[in-house]
Structure 1
Amino acid sequence: MQPHRGQRGQVLVLGLLLAGLLALAWLRYFAGGQVVAAKTRMVHGLDAAAYSGALVQARTLNFLAYLNRAQLAHQVAMAHLITLGSWAHFGGTQAGRLAQGNPPAYLIGMLFGPAHGQAYLSAAAATGMDLQAGSGGPAGQAYAAHESFVHDYARGLARSLVRDLPDARMAAIQAVLRAHYPEIPAQDLQPVLSADAWPGLVRFHPADAPLTTLVRDLAKLYRFLDPRDHTASSPWVVSARCPHLRHELRRRGGTALDEQGRWQAGDTESFHALRSNKWVGCYYREYVMGWAWLPAGEGQAMAGEHVDNPPENFADQDFWRWVQAATEWDLLGRADNPLGNSYALANRQPWASRGLPDYPDVAPGQGPQAAAGFVLTLRLPSQAGMTVHARSAAESLFSRPRRRADGRDEAPNLFHPYWHARLAAPLFQLPGD
């Protein structure tokens, strides 16, 4: 029996249809694979770009922290310099008193011991130093250089860093994307940055009480800036009217930061000779042995008792009569060197200062989780003729490498360089994602 010739070739038709379906599926699968590969490549590149942008932010924030700390260091240096200037002026004026023998060194050594007498004699080596203690001397010039750095250079640099950060961040993002897509023209790689938290993160604060307190606390770490107060008493009874009182040698001095953030330093030393008479009884006659006061400007007030324009000597009027007529001092006061303060005021050496500068810090209200985050979006055409887009997010956050020694949590700030970068996609999911 012979086969039907009309049935020949039917399987071929079905085979061709199946081959066409297989080819269409393969093409579809290939195109889909291209899209997936393009999407994966874009996600990796965009994540790297976003992380690089967050890293630029973190480095800028850490640099601002180091800059703030550098400004604190300059303030401590300025405190040391104005103290040196005060010591130089004090040494020069004491050398002048030593040369006049008012009081004589042998009397100081006899009443208060050889160490004090020798210290007074050593002032001879400081002759003329009071002439170099002004703002034009070596210490004053160094002080002015620190002042200029703090107010002119560092302040301007901090503001430039904050202002230019968005441009620097975008430049880093685009550099990473250009390296990731070398075949695409740079003008076609235009990522869109949104949900940017940078503009509200950093604020410049005027010099305030917290900063003043911080500078004062730092100064307490340096013994050179400690109060220079010492009182020596003679062991001998002086007057039967007041057998409990003695001759005193009072050294007073200190370095201080006023409420406007300006340094001042002063030093005095006086021999307070115990005297008595029938009109006022016992009193202290002050013989000034050295003085200095370096304010930060003409308008800065002096601490301690003092008067303007004190007499250079008391040849025309008894000391106690002048005190009663021209001052409100207690003739038996034992706390200060009021006449020495008055001489220091009359011979002051002002060092110009603009006080503490404003400084960058995390803006108030940011909370303990303050971070500078942003979202990055990129769209590019794929080889399959489709547009591929991806989104990535990153942030710069404050995180200590280890907990504080006191166990407390530390709010984000720009005084500790503990800012880090990380990808943070879950933090920036937008509607429709």
Structure 2
Amino acid sequence: MLDSDVAARRAQEGQALVLGMVLAAALSLALLRYFAAGQVLAAKVRQVHGLDAAAYSGALVQARALNMLAYLNRAQLAHQLAMAHLATLASWALYGGAEAGQVARGNPPAYLIGMLFGADHGRAYLAAAQAAGLEGWAQRDGALGRAHAAHDRQVHDLHTALARNIATTVPEVRMAAVRAVLRAHYPDRPEADLRLSLEHDQWPSLLRRHAPDRGLHDLVQDIAGLYPFLGPRDHTARNTWVVDEHCPALRHQFRRRGATTLDAEGRWQASDTQSFHALRTNRWVGCYYREYAMAWGWIPAQPAAGMDGPYSDAAPEDFSEQDFWRWVASATDWSLLDQRDNPIANSYAVRHRPAWPAGGLGPYHEVATDRPEGVAGFELFLSIDGPEGLAVQARSAAHSYFARPLPRADGLDEAPNLFHPYWMARLAPLSIEALPAREGR
């Protein structure tokens, strides 16, 4: 019995080892599969993180480009306001130079202005003698003329070309940024292994390039209205006593007229005149105003433009050879009792105007009106070869959007625009229509 038991036990030796080997092999296979799955999962997580960073970087490129376009638009507004101020300063320089000449000639005399309209007017007229020579600043090659031309070149040469270049090269620069991030994220892989595609790109439909239009024209005028220096410069003073019994309600007048305006083509013009209108009477025309031009200056919108107010190209430099009223009646259609304008001073301003060429308002970019949401989004799809020969795929979406950092003071919502640099970037949900297509692969 003993020998048989031993023999039976010896016959069963090694069977557990076989089962153990089978179990070890199964466990090893499971471990290998779990290890491979972990490698795939790690590759997937790495890919998603890298692709999200690349998508965000692409959206950041877009946001920076949009903010740069907004700064360029705002810069154009600043240049336009600078040109308005320069035109006004030049008109004043011409005005001051002309008035200095009239003071020196005593036509009219300063004491008469002070007697009729008060000491302040008389002193101001005498002080104009210090403005002699200022008209040189307003010439095309003068300091003001050169500064105006420099601003005009900035708008029509530098800014226009730069804005066009930014708007057209964003897709290329964006993709370069995306690829740069992915190369930095996968330094161990050649770029050819990163099979990347961009889909659902909204950038091409986001922007519209506008030629100078009424909207920009009105915006520039509204902003110019915030500066009193560019506002109307009109003043009328009258003496206090009756001048002539035939027209007891009329008085001698001191008229200052001036304005800075934007013409229909978006070019600035500025005019400034001042005249003493002496009330006279005779038996042929009765009461009338005899104008003595005291100062004049005009910067036209274009060299060949005409002035808005009444003027004559044939106005004589003085009326020593003929009666003022006869010349007006024969050479013009002016009213001798007009109490609004300075037509003789206007005529001299037109005669002595400098030639300042100007291009007017420049083109600009703005958000398309059919894109009120103001979002420039896109999606990235990346496929790389992962562990076990598997293709690891991921998608990511990002967009650039408009958001004010602080609410408006008036409490109103602000539509996305390219005049405020409030564009930012963020990751975005994937487009719903694209998901099934990728899941089926």
Q: What's the TM-score bracket when you normalise by the shorter of the two chains?
A: over 0.9
SS in 2 for 1:237: coil
Q: 1:151 aligns with which of 153, 156, 159?
A: 156
2:104 paired with 1:99? yes
Distance 1:273 1:80 in 2: 33
Partner of 1:181: 186
Distance 1:170 1:280 in 2: 81
- Shift of residue 11 of structure 1? 2.9
2:169 paired with 1:164? yes
The superposition leaves residues 216-251 of structure 1 with CA deviations (integer Å, 9 ceiling, x where unpaired) of: 111111121111111111112101111111111000
Distance 1:12 1:188 in 2: 46
- Shift of residue 107 of structure 1? 0.6
Partner of 1:296: 301
The question of whether the paired residues in 2 share the 8 Å contact of 1:202 and 1:361 is answered with yes
The superposition leaves residues 86-133 of structure 1 with CA deviations (integer Å, 9 ceiling, x where unpaired) of: 111111111111111111111111111111111111111111222332
Distance 2:175 2:363 in 1: 28
- Shift of residue 427 of structure 1? 4.3
TM alignment of 1:409-424, pairs within 5 A: 409-424=413-428
The question of whether the paired residues in 2 share the 8 Å contact of 1:309 and 1:346 is answered with no
Counterpart residue identity of residue 243, structure 1: P
- Shift of residue 169 of structure 1? 1.0
The question of whether the paired residues in 1 share the 8 Å contact of 2:205 and 2:368 is answered with yes
The question of whether the paired residues in 1 share the 8 Å contact of 2:193 and 2:385 is answered with no
Q: 1:373 aligns with which of 374, 377, 386?
A: 377
TM alignment of 1:22-421, pairs within 5 A: 22-367=27-372, 369-421=373-425
Distance 1:245 1:143 in 2: 43
Please, what TM-score do these two structures have when normalized by structure 2? 0.95
The question of whether the paired residues in 2 share the 8 Å contact of 1:52 and 1:172 is answered with yes
The question of whether the paired residues in 2 share the 8 Å contact of 1:398 and 1:419 is answered with yes
* Paired-residue identity, %: 59
Structure 1: runs of 5 or more not aligned? none
- Shift of residue 319 of structure 1? 1.3
Structure 2: runs of 5 or more not aligned? none
SS in 2 for 1:191: strand
The question of whether the paired residues in 2 share the 8 Å contact of 1:296 and 1:350 is answered with no
The question of whether the paired residues in 2 share the 8 Å contact of 1:378 and 1:389 is answered with yes
Distance 2:347 2:45 in 1: 80
**Mean CA deviation greater in 306-315 or 330-339:** 306-315
Which of the two has higher C-alpha Rg? Answer: 2
Counterpart residue identity of residue 141, structure 2: G
Distance 1:377 1:321 in 2: 86
The question of whether the paired residues in 1 share the 8 Å contact of 2:396 and 2:430 is answered with no
The superposition leaves residues 320-347 of structure 1 with CA deviations (integer Å, 9 ceiling, x where unpaired) of: 1222222221211111111111111122
Number of residue-to-residue matches in the alignment: 432
The superposition leaves residues 27-72 of structure 1 with CA deviations (integer Å, 9 ceiling, x where unpaired) of: 1111111000000000001001100110111011011101111111
